[in-house]
Chain A
Amino acid sequence: MKSISIILQITLIFAAICAWPGLAFAQSQPSSTYALTHAKIFTLAGNTIEDGTLVIRDGKIAAVGVGLDLPAGAQVIDAKGLQLYPGIFDSITQMGLREIGAVSATVDSAESGSYNPDVVAATAVSPSSEHIPVTRAAGITEVLAVPGSGGFDSNGSGGVIGGQASAIHLTGWTIDEMLIKKSAAMVLNWPDIETQTFDTATFSRKEKSYSEAKQEYDKQVNEITDWIERARHYAQAMEKGSAARYDRDLKLEALVPVVRGELPLLVFADRSREIRNAVEFSDKQRLRMILAGGSEAYKVKDLLRSKGVPVILRPVLTLPLDEDDPYDRLLSQPAELAAAGVKFAFASFDNSFARRLGQNAANAVAYGLPYDEALKALTLYPARIFGLDDQIGTLEQGKLANLIVTNGDPLELTTDVKYLFIRGQLTSMDNRHLRLYEKYSKRPKAQ
């Protein structure tokens, strides 16, 4: 009986998810030529254009400027009073990998085991996730879907090497249509020296001595070093020998682009001690490091700047790590990092709260970050950090037409996104929340 009820439960949940009418909704329309006229255009590549025109053709930005000729057959959108920006890039999410956090059947974001360099996010991204249209409605046009990123999941924590993150457009009938870059970064959860931990197996807090915690930490760092060194040998074997001369190892093979410096390591660390150790490790191993989290990046800002390590900051709307930190410690950090010349981008580290990305950036501005920097930290900078700025991040001729048209400041709480283009397609902003709103707005008055 018990197993039957579990199966039934799973089936019902699955059915409920699959049956939602929205999944059948057309996410995109065939691309064509558009001209957006009389708009204030924030190109983020030079000056802002007043009363400008932007032409979209074949998925790309064909022209940006003032008083441009409108191409024949173009669909013209009068954007008078509206503003154009590059679409927002949320560079750490579990988009498509996690639908309902508490239901493990809907969660594919963290594989079991500690070292999974060969797993790839794109494999498990569900193009039909309800999170995608909801997130899009907030002006987010592309995200990085990140596996094993250390966050909490019903399936586990993601281990040490969490897998490969994929950059995706937030529209497409299939993952192939959504892909920007299948492998955009390798996730590494840098170990912590933690004297207090929580053991989920026994549901109790555990305390250990510093020396014990340090020993465990050193052991994990040695393991990481070992993986990198074996991958380096493997790369040499691949270069020098024929395939017949070595056994194929999928995990080491996945690490080859990392040791060759082609694929960045996305290293999750928050405490300054761990950040410093991770930077020194990456430097010594000649690996490209992107720091993720970075709650105490301000303590090592000179190191981050001098080593050129960019940071994907966790939301500034997060309480300080320590009781005696200033109450606005994370709110004021972006301003401090910008002043110190550290490169950073904002990210939600989430799905449900992806739509708070603009709010987070605005809060950083309220605590001293220059507005332009905030805007770029949502668009150009993440694109640059992940090597995608030749395709997205600014409104320039030749780039992909991933852009939003708003009735105001895209960081402000009350601003609406009026139009949204992804790869030049005018993309629907219909979503689960809007549909439920409309449905229940129409409920006749109860008797």
Chain B
Amino acid sequence: MLKANRLRAPILCLLCVLRLVYFPRSASAANPPDSPAVILIRNATILTVSHGAIERGSILIKDGKIAEVGPSINAPKDAQVIDAAGQFVTPGIIDCHSHIAAESINEGSVSVSSMVNMAEILNPDDIDIYRDLAGGVTAANILHGSANSIGGQTLVIKLRWGQPAAKLPFEGALPGIKFALGENPKRSNFSIPGQPRRYPSTRMGVEETIRGAFSEARDYKKTWEDYNKRFTAGEKNLIPPRRDLRLEPLVEVLEGKRYVHSHCYREDEILMLLRVAKEYGFKVRTFQHVLEGYKVADELAAAGVGASTFSDWWAYKVEAYDAIPYNAALMTRRGVVVSINSDDAEEATHLNQEAAKSMKFGGLSHDEALKMVTLNPAMQLGIDKRVGTIDVGKDADLVIYNHDPLSAYAVVQKTLIDGRVFFDRQRDIAERSGREKEKKALIDKFKKAAEKKPEDKKPDATVPIGQKPSEKKSEEKKPEEKKPEEKPKPPQSSGIDSAAVVLPGGAL
């Protein structure tokens, strides 16, 4: 945020953020009053991530925070008790690359779209929030697409299904900005009919686009600094510089107030961005996808940058042809903080399983694998003081599984955020027949109304609710099976970004 006296809107924004941060009980603030203040989970195998496993252990939750963790805790009088005998509790799954809860993904018309902000288009009614919650995800990094070298502003949310958009942002989490390198920003795999090719078309041009933008941002920063200096010195009749909404977020990057999350694949482009960052004096917080990260793992570790990758996607485009499922393990072994992300609403429902694959491919330990979807993404997003492990004082963002979560047989039983049960499998199943009845009643009513007034009948009046194929938001397209956007037909519809074709609104 620039320190200009006239920047009222940003300052107001800042105040809003601060208010949330310092609100005494942010959890209760986000939750309706119906959630019990004290919950005791007991008899569970607790995978703390920070200090090993506790067999038949208990977790006491008070006011949305973890109050106590140990082998046995007596239930306070007013506590709601969850008996988790034979079950496993882990910290909530954190997805470092998601496109759920977003009305659109890509502002792809320009090569630098840093003025747009995902925070302004959150959709709290996106059913994928609930589906991912049912897969144990409690927090997600909602990213802009990868259509341009410098994409839009991003934010971290908690998956508080049922709450309004204003309650989704993760209080106090630093905002981010999406960068993208390689085939997507240079538009290798698609062209939109009627639209001319857009600069850049090569990896060389991608570098220059980013350098050019930061050169401008530097000048802009200096212009404001000069102005503020003169203003503070008491100079009269000054005209403040004109605000530039495109450059402001980049100034925040230079000031370390906004994280850079950069989409990338190939080793050369990874090193390119590290060089540019050094030249302009900013940090890259995470490389996203980073499927060739294993080739330059030492360089990533030395730069202290996080790597957020897929478990086993490959071959959907040329830059994914050297992708290997050993990537996460190889980078981890060389000292990089690695997370496994989804980039796809479906993939997010089983990130625990995707993390487990690094045990098979590269021999990581159970603890190391689990960290890749809990503590490590929390560190990458700068929210590890709040979430990522099961420790006293942290947010009670927890998942209860019926088996070891690093098994393909594990099913999420409950997901808690801020100490509130946001997903409960038994409750979901119990409510299904009621929902079916409600749907049927609505359709019947609709049909009846249509029959009564045939003269008003519109051509499609009797098409049942729910016929519309759900749209997906995954960005890096999972090849065939999961390309929602590329495929207009329902079963095939699923993801967005990547490779070959792009649908409006999404793809990249």
Contacts and interface: CB of A to CB of B under 8 A. Distances in A.
Contacts of A319: 128, 131, 345-346, 349, 470, 472, 494
A101 B317 contact: yes
Interface in B178-221: 183, 188-189, 192-194
A413 B408 contact: yes
A150 B492 contact: yes
B193 A203 contact: yes
B330 interface: yes
Interface in A178-223: 192, 194-198, 200-205, 209-211
B490 A446 contact: no
A102 B466 contact: no
Nearest to B366: A414
For this complex, into which size category does the number of interface residues on chain A fall?
Answer: 35 or more
Given A152-B501, A323-B466, A363 B408 contact: yes
Given A210-B460, A414-B359, A414-B360, A99 B432 contact: no
Contact of A203 (B188, B356, B494, B504): B504
Contacts of A433: 314, 324-326, 361
Contacts of B330: 437, 440-441
B470 A101 contact: no
B504 A152 contact: no
Contacts of A197: 488
B318 interface: yes
Interface stretch (A251-259, A352-360, A377-385): A352-360
A191 to B, nearest CB: 11
B410 interface: yes
B315 A99 contact: yes
Contacts of A411: 408
Given A319-B131, A366-B411, A101 B479 contact: yes
Contact of A322 (B189, B353, B406, B466): B466
Given A353-B479, A366-B408, A414-B360, A445 B500 contact: no
B406 A413 contact: yes
Interface in B78-109: none
A318 B494 contact: yes
Contacts of A365: 409
A322 B470 contact: yes
B489 interface: yes
A327 B360 contact: no
Nearest to A326: B432
Given A101-B499, A196-B469, A352-B313, A324 B435 contact: yes
Given A322-B466, A350-B480, A317 B487 contact: no
A402 B250 CA distance: 58
A198 B316 CA distance: 21
B8 interface: no
B280 interface: no
A418 to B, nearest CB: 13
A324 B501 contact: no
Nearest to A323: B127
Contact of A102 (B299, B439, B478, B500): B500
Contact of B360 (A324, A326, A416): A416
B322 interface: yes
Nearest to A151: B480
B500 A353 contact: no
Which of B134, B359, B459 has the most C-beta atoms of chain A within 10 angstroms of its own C-beta? B459
B261 interface: no
Interface string A262-301: 0000000011000000000000000000000101000000
Given A349-B480, A353-B478, A353-B481, A363 B350 contact: yes
B22 to A, nearest CB: 36
A412 B481 contact: no
Contact of B312 (A204, A325, A356): A356
Contacts of B463: 195, 210
A205 B490 CA distance: 14
Interface string B419-458: 0000000001100100100010000000000000000000
B interface, how many residues as a size bin? Answer: 35 or more
B86 to A, nearest CB: 15
A320 B480 CA distance: 17
B491 A270 contact: yes
A151 B484 CA distance: 11
Contacts of B429: 326
Interface secondary structure of B, over-half rule: loop
A100 B406 contact: no
A270 B315 contact: no
Interface in A100-142: 100-103, 130-131, 134
B367 interface: no
Contacts of B317: 100-103
Contact of B488 (A198, A210, A350, A446): A198
Contacts of A210: 459-460, 463
B501 A414 contact: no
Interface string B367-390: 000000000000000000000000
Contacts of B353: 359, 413
Interface of chain A, helix or strand or loop or mixed? loop
Contacts of A324: 435, 439, 465-466
A267 to B, nearest CB: 14
B23 interface: no
A440 B295 contact: yes
A365 B360 CA distance: 21
Interface string A362-386: 1101110000000000000000000
B332 to A, nearest CB: 12
A349 B481 contact: yes
A211 B457 CA distance: 13
Interface string B48-63: 0000000000000000
Given A195-B463, A205-B504, A441-B330, A350 B324 contact: no
Interface in A296-331: 314-315, 317-328
B468 interface: yes
Nearest to B344: A319
A360 to B, nearest CB: 9
A152 B487 contact: yes
A318 B491 contact: yes
Contacts of A201: 193
B274 interface: no
A325 B321 CA distance: 36
A209 B325 CA distance: 46
B302 interface: yes
Given A413-B353, A437-B326, A446-B299, A192 B408 contact: no
B360 A413 contact: yes
Contacts of B428: 326-327
B87 to A, nearest CB: 14
B294 interface: yes
Contact of B479 (A270, A325, A350): A350
Given A130-B315, A195-B463, A327-B428, A437 B362 contact: yes
Contacts of B357: 413-414
A176 to B, nearest CB: 26
B406 A414 contact: yes
Interface in B317-345: 317-318, 320-322, 324-326, 330, 345
Contact of A202 (B193, B349, B410, B498): B193
Given A323-B470, A413-B407, A414-B406, 10 more contacts: A13-B318, A100-B317, A202-B193, A209-B459, A318-B491, A349-B480, A349-B481, A350-B480, A362-B407, A433-B325
14 contacts: A102-B318, A102-B499, A103-B318, A192-B489, A202-B194, A205-B488, A317-B350, A322-B470, A353-B312, A355-B312, A356-B312, A365-B409, A415-B360, A436-B326
Identify the 4 closest CB pairs spanning chains A and B, nearest first.
Answer: A362-B408, A446-B298, A198-B488, A102-B317
Interface of A: 13, 16, 94, 99-103, 130-131, 134, 150-152, 154, 192, 194-198, 200-205, 209-211, 270-271, 293, 295, 314-315, 317-328, 348-353, 355-356, 358-359, 362-363, 365-367, 411-416, 432-433, 436-437, 440-441, 443, 445-446
